[in-house]
Every structure is written in C-alpha cells, then in structure tokens.
Amino acid sequence: MRRIAVLTVAALLSSPAPAADYYAGRTIELVVGHYVGGGYDIYARALARHYGRHIPGNPTIVVKNLPGAGSAKAGQFISAVAPKDGTVIGAVTPGAIMSALLDGRSETGFDPTKVSYVGTANNGTRICVLNKEAKAQRFEDMLTEKTVIGAAAVNDASHDYAFMVRNMTGAQLNIVPGYKGTSDLGLAMERREIDGSCGWDWASFKSQRGAWVKEGRIKVLVQMGLGPDEELTRLGAPPIWGFVKSDDDRKAIELVVSQQVFHRPYIAPPGIPPVALDTLRAAFNTTVKDPQFLADAEKTGIDILPLGGAQIQELVHKLAGVSESVVERAKRAIRP
C-alpha cells in the first residue's frame, strides 16, 4: 500500500499543471509580422481583444509589431528566438510560409514545417484593384495597357501575386516595390502614384477601403482563390483561371493560391509544452465562435472563416511534399 501511495504522489507531482494554473498571472505577446494599420495588424488586434477571456487563467494579450521580409522576420523570431513556453505567438503572412516551402529553406531561418500552428482566422480571396481613372477597367485591358502596380517586399502578397499575375497571364504590369503594406498602398492610390495593387486580400480591402467600393472609386479586375467568391462575382470580377496560359501554369498558381486556406495564420514556437499548445488551440477555436468577437469583427469589417491549428499543420506538411516540377514553376511565377 505504501508503494502504491508513493507512486500516486509521484505521478501527481510529475503531471502537467492545469491550463488555468499554467497561464494564471501571465502575459502572452502576439507578435505581428506586419505594419500597424495593415490587414494582419487589424485581425491580430481584434483577436487580442477577446482571446485572453477564453484562455484558462485569463492572461493579458499584448500585441507587438515586428515587420520585415514579408513577415518572415517575425516567423524567424517565433522559430528561433521567442521563449518556448507558450507566452509568445505570432501572426505571419501565408506568403512567408509558402516562400519558405518553395525555397526549401528560408534566408531568414524561418522553417514553417517546424513551428506549431494555433489556427487561422479566415481563408480568403485576393484581388487586383485599380483606380477608376486607370486606363485598364477590365482585366483584358491589362493585357495590352501598361498598368502601374504598387507592391511591398518579397513574401508579401502584394509583391508575389503581382508578379504571378504578370508572369502567368502576360498582363502588362509595371510593378513598383517598396511600399509598407496595404495601408501605404492605399495612400499611394489616393495620390495617384500608382494605378492599383494586386494581391490585396478582399476582406482587408473592405475593412480598410470599403467606402471606395460603395462610392465606385475603384474597379476590381480579377479575383484569385481556389473557388469563386460570390460577392466578387456579383461585382463583375472574374476568376484568374480564365486568363492562365496552360495546365502547368494552372498547377503552379493553384499551389501558390492554396496558402489562402490559412489566410491569417497564428503560430507558436516549436517544442512548446503540450498543455500550452492544446490550451492555445482550444481557446482560439472558442474565440472565433464567440458572439462578442464576431460582433467586434463585423464592426471592424473583417471576415471570420476559421480553421484549426492541427488542420493547418497537416496542410503545411502536405504542401511541403509537392513535386519539384510544380514547385519550380511556382517559384518562377512569383518572382521577377
């Protein structure tokens, strides 16, 4: 009996702390790999306002911005620098994940197959959007009319998708990189520095520049997603697939566009305690169904179409195993 009692006490002492005890009195940093005011920042701050209520122990959520390399800088921070105790998570672009998968490695040291996925707030559709004053008012026009398109850095959708549209369809795009995300691109469109942008997330566009749609100040020329978006179809924006040159090009674009399934991914460092990862995932799944969060999201103008972390983890590993010929074609598609 004494031996059984000793073993029981030892087992209790070695068992993981309950989630409430684990996070009680702690602060969780949510590191956003993009600039303040952009779509990823808007989504992350909306999540942060509600996430802590659904984590046992009610930790405080603090948002910090770490832009750079299309959010791969934040990915590298989460991968290699952040403490592996569940007190730091990151919001990165799917482009940073896809770029590292296509390259087989990342120059920043970000390996998307090693981090833990908490969840994604939505899946999405990306668009090419132009000022109504631009010469091109249909996608077909861009095949012959020179069109100035603003872009951010490599790994950002505004960069990679712009080159994909140019390289895979023959659109006459003059791509000007160096802008600091979609808020900066919107200002450049207002100043008429550029005609428009390709790769802007439709949900973010509505949140940031919804008035432009209502006032007819822009034209959405094409939509890019695995399936058509009903709202964009009503606006007259055709899917990109009708302008793709070949079946091989279509496969390459499908690989690139597949990242939109995890459109707003949240990641944790590799090797965090199982109790922390399970708690973060469960709380995320609860938060994205919370009526208060959903009301906040509607007020903010962002779409919530979530997917769980385990499903994203599986999809990322599946994408990592795509054939080399498709990978090479996709790499050529999104680069100058």
> For every one of its 336 residues, what pLDDT tens digit does the chain have, with 9 covering 90 and above?
333 333 333 333 334 456 678 999 999 999 999 999 988 999 999 999 999 999 999 999 999 999 998 899 999 999 999 999 999 999 999 989 988 888 765 555 789 999 999 999 998 899 999 999 999 999 999 999 999 999 998 889 999 999 999 999 999 999 999 999 899 999 999 999 999 999 999 988 998 999 999 999 999 999 999 889 999 999 999 999 999 989 999 999 999 999 999 989 999 999 999 999 999 999 999 999 999 999 999 999 898 999 999 999 999 999 998 999 999 999 999 988
Domains 16-123+259-333 and 126-257 share a fold: yes
- CATH of 16-123+259-333, picked from 3.90.1150.10, 3.50.50.60, 3.40.190.150, 3.40.50.150, is 3.40.190.150
245 three-state secondary structure: coil
Instruction: From 115, 59, 106, 51, select the one nearest 288 (Cα to Cα).
Output: 51
Q: How far apart are CA 297 and CA 288, in angstroms?
A: 10
Backbone angles phi, psi at 178, to 5 degrees: 110, -5
How is residue 273 written in tokens?
Answer: 């305690």
The neighbour count for residue 118, using CB atoms within 10 Å, is 26
Q: Specify whether domain 126-257 bears CATH 3.20.20.105.
A: no
Q: Is the dihedral of CA 228, 312, 258, 145 positive or negative?
A: positive
Where do the structural domains in the chain lie, given as residue ranges? 16-123+259-333, 126-257
- Percent helix, strand, coil in the chain, to 5, is 50, 15, 35
- Where do the H-state alpha helices sit in the chain? 2-14, 19-23, 39-51, 72-76, 94-103, 139-142, 157-169, 181-190, 202-214, 230-234, 247-257, 274-287, 291-300, 309-319, 324-333
Q: Report DSSP state, residue 155.
A: T
Q: How far apart are CA 172 and CA 11, in angstroms?
A: 67
- Tens digit of each residue's pLDDT (9 = 90 or more) over 168-221: 999 999 999 999 989 999 999 999 999 999 999 998 899 899 999 999 999 999
